[in-house]
Amino acid sequence: MIKFNLYKEGGLKVHFIKKNEDINSEFKKFLESKKFDGQFNEILYLPIIEGDSHVFIGLGDDEIDLEDIRNIFFKLGNTLRKNEEHEVEIKMPEFNICNRKTIMAAYEGLRHGEYEFTKKTDVKHKKEDFELTVNYSAFKGPEEKLREGLNKMENIMDGVFLARNLVNERANVIYPESLANIAVEKLENLGVNVCVYEEDEIEKIGMKAFLKVAAGATNRPRLIVMEYKNSDAEKIALVGKGLTYDSGGYNIKSPSGMNYMHCDMGGAGTVIGTMYALAKNKAKVNVVGVIAACENMISGTSYKSGDVIDSMKGLTIEVANTDAEGRITLADAVHYATNDLGAEKIIDLATLTGAVTIALGEVYTGAVTNDEDFYREVLEAAKLSGEKIWAFPYDEDFKKLNNSEVADIKNTSGRDAGSVTAGLFVGEFVKENTPWVHLDIAATAYRNKAKGYLPKNATGIHVKTLNNLLDPIDC
């Protein structure tokens, strides 16, 4: 647990030092002996037996931004935990950036160090509870605004951790029904209206494509609709891919590929985490979250390669590959959000393609959009959040790759431009003239290894971005 006191002193002293700065203090010889020269994120701990200990943090020689602050404080938090230091005094230098956003980034970095997901029963393999008191003095800024920023960031990080936990949890625990129950449990008491539709109701709605993907599973599908209205502003839809497990269907995945397919509901996790944070912050927004939750399994009732299936929009879909199932569920979900629910803008998030990993690695989320202005808003929110997005081209020549000889559209065109054509497939089902941004988070929602403050496995990607987009905070 982290407690922030503002404009108070006491505890371990933190010193921020620029690269090759002339250090004229009692610690100069110590730092020289340790060859500490202020490289960015270089950290050195100096314990004092009597009195307060000290930590020296290098700032490098470039201008510091919010992402730097997140990484600095993540590393500081780990150092404090390792050395069992429970109180720290931080006097922030001038970084020429917003002081409220600075304290939010500092809190975020410390908070990331608390996260752990494990099923191990031996306490030796678990992080111990760690209480930390931070006595924080900003370079400038009224205490009330700083406290408001801290409270907002605390709720956003709760949303990030909720998303991570949902995506990390295994498919024997998270399946369509249980995911829907968690959405109700977490959101309804915060003022979010959660409607859960079972199979007969989904059929009445007309989501024929979604139900075909779900046809082979024992765990039956759920449509989860979460509406949070605290404003008369335009309604924005967040649609998350909700494949709680994906075997690949009859285009079955390899054994190694199936080991982590519990994470194929990463988009759903982000949407639930985002709705949770927005509601906790009492954001003045009008947002609806939609998740078509199901499993893609193999049985005698499963859909098959070569099938031609119907969709809610009325377009027929050639199933060229049963492992390109997420876009089929999204087809009905985005159509429902924009046509039946009346969303005026829409963002879908999906662990959609392996191709995005080839193109952008685990560094960038791939994007496809039909509206450059709306995309730029999303991009700016992502930059503020330290979550990178890269837009693929929206081009009619790519659209043509999805043409089918037997149906209106096919669900995959093969290897060429796989992330682009997948996104464009989803876009075909968005109501005409509705601004739309598609985010392919296949490589960024679930990482193969940790990097900086991002853990291995689930990251909770774009909970921050969506909160900064929908509920921005000024300085």
Catalytic residues: 253, 327
- Round to whole Å and give the CA distance between 97 and 255: 48
The burial of 82, by beta-carbon neighbours within 10 Å (0-12 exposed, 13-18 middle, 19 or more buried), is given as: exposed
- Round to whole Å and give the CA distance between 424 and 402: 8
Locate the DSSP E strands across 370-435: 389-391, 409-410
- Round to whole Å and give the CA distance between 475 and 429: 39
- In 3D, which of 258, 209, 265 has the Cα closest to residue 410? 209
CB 423, CB 352: distance < 8 Å: yes
Give me the phi and psi of 237, to 5 degrees please. Answer: -100, 140
Strand 457-458 to 286-296 pairing: unpaired
Asked whether residue 325 is marked as a ligand-binding residue, the answer is yes
Q: In this structure, what token pair is assigned to residue 443?
A: 């490589």
Locate the DSSP E strands across 59-152: 87-91, 132-137
Q: In this structure, what token pair is assigned to residue 286?
A: 């009008």
Asked whether residue 65 is marked as a ligand-binding residue, the answer is no
Asked whether residue 264 is marked as a ligand-binding residue, the answer is yes
- Round to whole Å and give the CA distance between 388 and 364: 5
- Round to whole Å and give the CA distance between 36 and 58: 8
CB 69, CB 96: distance < 8 Å: no
> Which residues lie closer than 8 Å to 81 by C-beta, 6 or more apart?
113, 130, 132
Block residue for tokens 């519990």: 262
Known binding-site residue numbers for Mn(2+) = 241, 246, 264, 323, 325
Annotated binding site: 241, 246, 264, 323, 325
